């Protein structure tokens, strides 16, 4: 698999592909084309890499603007949401949950 082999556009919803998982780790590729999210309150740590596009992740007290190559580490139960994703180019995320 090539991480940049993308589906046909436009996408009406985010596309999440589980690349690998075990009892303790899950690795996902997420493709966003303008979608946003509700608030998350996860029990896992999440390491996020934005491989393509631009995005904004909001936390309760701050917002983080991301561009290609940026990373963020989200601690368990740190409430967050995705408030912006670019559609041209689409956002390609690599997320590791542990």
Q: Say which CATH number the domain at 76 has.
A: 2.60.120.10
Distance, in Å, from the CA atom of 39 to the CA atom of 58, rounded to the nearest integer, reads 9
Residue 67 lies in a domain: yes
Total domain count, the chain = 1
- What confidence tens digit (pLDDT) does each residue in 25-79 have? 999 999 999 999 999 999 999 999 999 999 999 999 999 999 999 999 999 999 9
Distance, in Å, from the CA atom of 34 to the CA atom of 45, rounded to the nearest integer, reads 25
And the tokens for 22? 């075990």
Residue 4 lies in a domain: no
And the tokens for 29? 């590729």
Residue 16 lies in a domain: no
Residue 78 lies in a domain: yes
The range of the structural domain enclosing residue 47 comes to 30-97
């Amino acid at each position: 698999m090539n991480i940049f082999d993308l589906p046909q556009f436009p996408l009406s919803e985010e596309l999440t592909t589980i690349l690998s998982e075990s009892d303790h780790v899950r690795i996902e590729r997420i493709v966003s084309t303008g979608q946003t999210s509700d608030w998350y309150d996860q029990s896992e740590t999440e390491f996020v890499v934005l491989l393509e596009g631009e995005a904004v992740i909001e936390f309760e007290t701050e917002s983080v603007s991301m561009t290609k190559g940026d990373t963020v580490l989200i601690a368990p139960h740190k409430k967050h949401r995705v408030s912006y994703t670019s559609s041209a180019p689409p956002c390609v995320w690599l997320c590791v949950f542990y």
